[in-house]
Structure 1
Amino acid sequence: MTTKTALVTGASSGIGEATARKLADLGYTVYGAARRIDRLEKLTDGGIRPLAMDVTDDASMSVGIARIIGETGRIDVLVNNAGYGSFGAIEDVPLDEARYQFEVNVFGAARLVQLVLPHMREQRSGTIVNITSMGGKIYTPLGGWYHGTKFALEALSDCLRLEAQPFGVNVVVIEPGGIATEWGGIAADHLRKVSGDTPYATQARAVATLLSSEANARRNSPPQVIADAIAKAVTSRRPKTRYRVGFGARPLLFAKWLLPDRAFDAIIKRVTGIRN
């Protein structure tokens, strides 16, 4: 049997690193991609092939996919994991920063989909895994631009699933809850810089404290739970359309489905520590 090939973006740490290692353990030829290739060297001990790739640079993505196809002749799994959270009040965040977050979290993923789909269609098989978030279904104050990217990727994934299905290509969404990575601390620092000295400062302090708190970090799930969900999806003959895993994902998404907006607003205020 031909060894299957997978590309995992954002593979230098956290969910991406755990996923790359998991797929390699399952026997895939894995390419781990990130902007800084020096941060990928630690993956080579697991047989993972480091790949320099900037998901905001079309040439970088095109060259990367061409290399994978040239070396292996196929691509079976794309895990669109590269992304970041830039928090701040919608009024405060410069539009250039908002656009850049969409470039990384949405358009980079979409461009990679465009690049791999011709090969998957020709194979009549493949799985595209888009990492969104429970934040692609729920919302928090001062996270508008981040949530906007995740809502957008959810919608694109649903449309893509219908488009790709006749060609034997699966499209799966992973909706992580709280995961123990460096993401929260980075997002909190950026939030303080953007909105910590504006009319939204009180809210910024509350949300930043939640994002970076040690108590919250202890509750969060390890990245491995996401890697395990991705492994289950890509090895299943008929994967679920969505996998909701990690701390808080299921109860919060259920509450969003069940409650009217004002009632859910009250829950989010309570969770984030915001007081009127």
Structure 2
Amino acid sequence: MTQRTVLITGASSGMGAAAARLFAARGWRVYGGARRETLIPTAPNITALHLDVTVHSDNVRFVSQVMTDQPRIDVLINNAGYGEFGPLEEVPLSAVHQQLATNLLGAADLTQLVIPIMRRQRSGRIVNISSIAGDIYTPLGGWYYVSKHALNVWSDTLDVELRQFGLRSVVVAPGDTASSWSAIALQHAAANLTTDSPYRGLLTAMQGVLTTGERVSGATSADLATVFYRAATAPHPRRRYYHSPLDQFLTHVARAHPTLYHQAMVAGTRFIMRHPH
């Protein structure tokens, strides 16, 4: 049997790095891409390549290198992403463009490059790493949530279009994960505040909420890597993959009861402003 090939973006840390190690350990040929390629795990079956998904020439070079080495591409995992947090009134539009370019348009660019290859093969899968934030929201994360909601809709539309060719596009939606993600998102939020911002109190209150969620969730990068693997290999894939029933329940509530969820966010924000951690 021909060794299967997977492309993983954002493979230098967190879930992406854990997924690279897992796929390689299970016999896949892994091509990991990241801006800091020296941090991509080194192991048999892993090839580390420089990749900034917001740069089209990087994406072309990444896919071209894989096709030079391998006869096929079985799976593309669009994992690269980050959280551009901050109040919607104050986040600069330049930062918004970077958020969408990384979390959505980079995935779209790579996918457009890979689909013709998969279509000729009559097989292949696109795994898009979104978030439960594609359905839920909290204060200060608006543009991040927009990017993930858009990724979900894009993936679902793509899936409908690709099924005729024997291809699938699916979404993995992690919830809170034990990683540095929230710390980085909070750094962005602080950087995006104006000097006399009226939202400083809200940021202080939200710091405790975001970091507490990561501490108590119990989900590690390795846990999510196994979800990536299921999404990539299931014979009859689902549209969505979650790590835990709680993550799935939260998205269900937000979708099925949007007014109730919004009211809960309003009440919760008032509470944490009065009782910050």
Report TM bin, short chain. over 0.9
The one-letter code sitting in structure 2 at the alignment partner of 1:37 is E
Q: Do 2:123 and 2:167's aligned partners in 1 also have CA atoms closer than 8 Å?
A: yes
Q: 2:128 aligns with which of 124, 127, 130?
A: 130
In structure 1, the residue matched to 2:229 is: 231
The one-letter code sitting in structure 2 at the alignment partner of 1:81 is N
CA deviations over 1:118-143 (Å, ceiling 9, x no partner): 00000000010000100001111111
The one-letter code sitting in structure 1 at the alignment partner of 2:25 is D
Q: Do 1:11 and 1:34's aligned partners in 2 also have CA atoms closer than 8 Å?
A: yes
The one-letter code sitting in structure 2 at the alignment partner of 1:3 is Q
1:28 equivalent in alignment to 2:28: yes
CA RMSD in angstroms, aligned pairs only: 1.8
For 1:82 and 1:244, how far apart are their aligned partners in 2?
Answer: 18
1:108-187 aligned at under 5 Å gives the runs 108-187=106-185
In structure 2, the residue matched to 1:195 is: 193
In structure 2, the residue matched to 1:39 is: 39
Q: Do 1:18 and 1:223's aligned partners in 2 also have CA atoms closer than 8 Å?
A: yes
Partner SS for 1:6: strand
Per the TM alignment, residue 195 of structure 1 is displaced from its structure 2 partner at its CA by 2.9
Partner SS for 1:51: strand
Q: Do 1:233 and 1:239's aligned partners in 2 also have CA atoms closer than 8 Å?
A: yes
For 2:214 and 2:65, how far apart are their aligned partners in 1?
Answer: 41
CA distance 1:47–1:239, change in 2 (3 Å):
same
Partner SS for 1:156: helix
Q: 1:100 aligns with which of 82, 98, 101?
A: 98
Unaligned runs of 5+ in 1: none
CA deviations over 1:91-134 (Å, ceiling 9, x no partner): 10000000110000000000000000000000000010000100
For 2:36 and 2:44, how far apart are their aligned partners in 1?
Answer: 18
In structure 2, the residue matched to 1:264 is: 261
CA distance 1:206–1:144, change in 2 (3 Å):
same
Q: Do 2:8 and 2:32's aligned partners in 1 also have CA atoms closer than 8 Å?
A: yes
The one-letter code sitting in structure 2 at the alignment partner of 1:109 is A
For 1:260 and 1:32, how far apart are their aligned partners in 2?
Answer: 38
Q: Do 1:154 and 1:173's aligned partners in 2 also have CA atoms closer than 8 Å?
A: yes
Partner SS for 1:2: coil
Residue identity over aligned pairs, in percent, reads 40
What is the aligned residue count? 272
CA distance 1:271–1:22, change in 2 (3 Å):
farther
CA deviations over 1:71-95 (Å, ceiling 9, x no partner): 0021110000000001001110000
TM-score for the superposition, normalised by structure 1 = 0.93
In structure 2, the residue matched to 1:49 is: 47
For 1:145 and 1:191, how far apart are their aligned partners in 2?
Answer: 11
Q: Do 1:220 and 1:246's aligned partners in 2 also have CA atoms closer than 8 Å?
A: no
Unaligned runs of 5+ in 2: none
